[in-house]
Amino acid sequence: MAILFDSTSRLFTLTTAHSMYQMKADRYGVLLHTWFGMKGSAFDYSYRIAYADRGFSGNPYDAGDDRTYSLDALPQEFPVYGSGDYRSTALKVRYPDGTAACDLRYLSHEIHKGKYSLPGLPSLYDTLDGNNQPRGICDPTEHDAKSDTLIITLEDTRRMFYVHLYYGVMEDLDIITRAVCVENHSGLDIYLENIQSVCVDYLHGSYDLHTFYGRHVKERNHQRTPLGHGIHSVGSTRGTSSHQYNPFLILSDRDTTEDTGNCYGFSFLYSGDFLGNAELDQYNQTRLLLGIHPDNFCYCVKPAERFHAPEAALAYSAQGLGRLSRIFHQAYRTHLCRGKWTAKRRPVLLNDWEGVYFDFDGDKLIQMARDAADLGIELFVMDDGWFGKRDLDVSGLGDWTVNEKKLGCTLKELSDQIHGLGLQFGIWFEPEGINEDSDLYREHPDWAFTVPGKQPTRSRLQLLLDFSREDVREYIFSHICQVLDSARIEYLKWDLNRSLADLYSASLPAKRQGEVMHRYVLGLYDMLEKLTQRYPDMLIEGCSGGGGRFDAGMLYYTPQIWCSDDTDAIERLSIQYGTSFGYPVSTMGSHVSHCPNEQTRRITPLNTRATVAMSGTFGYELDVNKMTEDEKTIVKAQIREFKEYYDLIQYGDYYRLTDPDTADAYHGWEFAAEDGSEALLCIVALQIHPNGPGRWMCLKGLNADSIYTVNDEEYPGDVLMNGGLLLPTAAEEYESFRIHIVECPAV
């Protein structure tokens, strides 16, 4: 078992294939954090803690006159507000008498075979049952589980509540998960004002904090910042994980590279407000916290109720950032994404949005679908504009009835015609949005987020529905199902095109309005879970203005997410590069769009647009009827090539060879088979110069002792990895190359 407990020292040691996580309940029952990093002996690492007179830091009452024992200086597993620890803390509880100072001590623990799951929340799973649900720690069929669960219970010294700390140890995946449950065992209401899902304290070290910032159409830019004294934080109060910051953080040693050095990854499986804090304290200790953002959060836990905080996934790598990313890639592909599309090849699609926007009818869509089928495209997606009064994005949201007048036919007739061409059919929805110019808003204005007595904050004349309310969700869900049941539909794109504002729910009393944002996210998950259960064969793609909700929480329900509304291939290099640190290629929605590009007006070769889009789910988003015959010939070849390399791209090991923002003329990345039998090298020429120097790219993930064929030439694996491959000379700016490397059969 990967969980060891020493009853004498009350020491907990959790081990994965290459990492170790350790904590202990000390003599006062305080749960100390003692180690997270390289796997080693299950020795008590608390010997590393230095005790000294800490002066103004203060001491617990039961420590007596021991001025060396201060929670303001000790590494803790779950530090709480009001305990004498003045650093950022993981929990703040408001008691019935208005006070907020609490004190947690170790009470008990349980060790189980299998991985825990969380009610109403996404989590990594060990195995799934026949209904696509995680088998939990109480499932009798879980005897073959490869994961283990530790539950440590802490009790408030005022005897008001318990805190259950959940740890999932996924040994083979090199992943440890954390979650928190607060159980009210008093007879009174308590209020959670802050709850973080993970806290890790590092006694010493100089670290860099890696975060992923951006904006709409420019998401997840990699930023590496040396940690100095103080609090360094990123987060979102927009109701979604947001375009601006991503709930994935990395701490690394200062000298860590892609291939060497220590680094620690923290991923939050949640799609709403979040806060990630890294604090370097007065004693040069580093604390990292990740959880729900407290600004819009105050949750009432009634007597005998439990509150479950979302899960966080942790991983450690001693072999650099690349290895850390591949740990998360494998875990999320195989133990977070669910359903048949996790392992089944996904269809190459054509989305009509950038081809026609709102300007279409049924005949136009059939014309596009006919050409798409001739090219080898397998799925046709009808995007926005097919429902209600919807010829611009300022009206119609909420009225999920097919505009048969615009289409010139029923949805079933359109779907049947598209299927008759040999294509599957998909459709776009924005279920969370509502326009004031809609029948639904005129009938139920109270269903939208608005603050009484205040004019609402609009975004494209759009408001948002109160998904914290079950009646609102049931109405929208029933209308979506009516549409989906009326025709043969294999794909659904779930979009959200604004941030949350004007938070007020008519279904909650004044004292509980701080629950709205979290209840909204739970409502979203409830809707998505019902959708996946009712339509288990449907491929669902998440979207929020592109990458505004690209997070691990959504991947539990949608195995792919539209990476960004920016479809420019050169812009996408940085966006997909940053995304790759925490998320696998198989989750990144990426399309070939037309040129000049809609967002940048940049002209990029068709081959390069495909090179970039192939490093994702791959599809097209343009008017195929306007393509030349030469372009159509190229597209046919691209689709054949993508299908040939599909398994290598989607399931192979991904290597970042250069950073597109700092690359010296050529940017490169690579997909390598896990066994090193083949690789695909992708190159984009960012700059060209006449009479320029030669360019080499060192490959990764090959077998050093094997011989490989590259463009009919043979090279030893170690030569390709150490000496590099001489790259072709680009004849034009932004030209790209896809180079297949194949291991020669052993003689």
Q: How many CA atoms lie within 13 A of 318 on its CB side?
A: 9
Q: What is the pLDDT of residue 1?
A: 74
Question: Is a pLDDT exceeding 60 seen at residue 158?
Answer: yes
Phi-psi region of 214 (alpha: psi -120 to 50; beta: other; left: phi over 0): left
545 & 659 share domain: no
- Same domain for 95 and 215? yes
Q: Which two tokens stand for residue 589?
A: 């929605």
Q: Rounded CA gap, 298 and 303, in Å?
A: 16
Residue where one domain finishes, among candidates 625, 651, 677: 651
Domain boundary among 335, 358, 374: 335
CATH number of the CATH domain containing 146: 2.70.98.60
Residue 488: give its domain's CATH number.
3.20.20.70
Q: Is the predicted pLDDT of residue 141 greater than 70, yes or no?
A: no
Q: Quote the CA–CA distance of 678 and 671 in Å, as a whole number.
A: 9
82-116 pLDDT tens trace: 999 999 999 999 999 999 999 999 999 999 999 99
Catalytic residues: 551, 631
Q: What is the predicted pLDDT for the residue at 326?
A: 98
Over its C-alpha atoms, the chain yields an Rg (Å, rounded) of 27
pLDDT of 529 over the 80 cut: yes
d(CA 524, CA 518): 10
Spatial distance between the Cα atoms of 279 and 499, rounded to a whole number of angstroms: 28
pLDDT for the residue numbered 138: 72
Q: Is the pLDDT at 143 greater than 70, yes or no?
A: no
Using the predicted structure, report yes or no on whether residue 78 has a pLDDT greater than 90.
Answer: yes
- Asked whether residue 567 falls in the same domain as residue 420, the answer is yes
Residues 173 and 296 in one domain: yes
Residue with tokens 């953002």: 293
User: Residue 527: in which H helix or E strand, if any?
Assistant: helix 516-534
Distance CA 651, CA 671 (A): 9
Three-state SS at 458: coil
Report the alpha-carbon distance of residue 99 to residue 111 in Å, rounded: 34
| Whether residue 710 is found in the same domain as residue 593 | no
Q: What is the DSSP letter of 642?
A: H
Closest CA to 484 of 538, 542, 442: 538
Q: Are 409 and 437 in contact (CB under 8 A)?
A: no
Q: Are strands 379-382 and 349-351 parallel, antiparallel or unpaired?
A: parallel
Contact, 247 vs 268, CB < 8 A? yes
Q: Is the pLDDT of residue 139 over 90?
A: no
Reduced to 3 states (helix: H, G, I; strand: E, B; else coil), residue 468 is coil
| Statement to judge: residues 242 and 372 lie in one domain | no
Total domains in the fold of the chain: 3
The per-residue pLDDT for range 23-45, each reduced to its tens digit, is 999 999 999 999 999 999 999 99
Those residues whose C-beta lies under 8 Å from the C-beta of residue 744, and which sit 6 or more positions away, are: 706, 707, 708, 709, 714
- Looking at the structure, tell me whether residues 542 and 683 fall in a common domain: no
- Output the pLDDT for position 322: 98
C-alpha pair distances (Å), 130 with each of 135, 170, 339: 10, 21, 10
Which three-class secondary structure state does DSSP give residue 204? coil
Contact residues for 633 (Cβ-Cβ < 8 A; gap 6+): none
CA dist 591 and 616 (Å) reads 8
CA 581 – CA 247 distance, rounded (Å): 12
pLDDT band at 477 (very low <50, low <70, confident <90, very high): very high
Enter the pTM of the model: 0.97
720: pLDDT strictly greater than 60 = yes
For residue 125, pLDDT beyond 90: yes
**For residue 108, what are the β-bridge partners?**
153
When pLDDT is averaged across residues 468-483 and rounded to a whole number, the result is 98
State which of 291, 315, 335 marks the end of a domain.
Answer: 335
pLDDT given for residue 142 in this prediction: 56
Same domain, 367 and 309: no
Residue 601 CB-density burial (10 A; 0-12 exposed, 13-18 middle, 19+ buried): exposed
Beta bridge partners of 273: none
Q: Is the same domain home to 350 and 277? A: no
- Could you list the residue range(s) of the whole structural domain that residue 692 is in? 655-743
Same domain, 410 and 557: yes
Max CA-CA distance within the chain?
A: 86
Is the model's pLDDT at 465 over the cut of 70? Answer: yes
Nearest alpha carbon to residue 178 among 6, 334, 23, 1: 23
Q: Do residue 292 and residue 405 come from a single domain?
A: no
Q: Please indicate, yes or no, whether residues 239 and 296 belong to a single structural domain of this protein.
A: yes
> CA 24 to CA 346: how far, in whole Å?
46
Mean pLDDT score of the chain: 96
In 3-state terms the chain splits into helix, strand, coil percentages (rounded to 5) of: 25, 30, 45
CATH code (residue 705): 2.60.40.1180
Q: Answer whether residue 711 shows pLDDT above 90.
A: yes
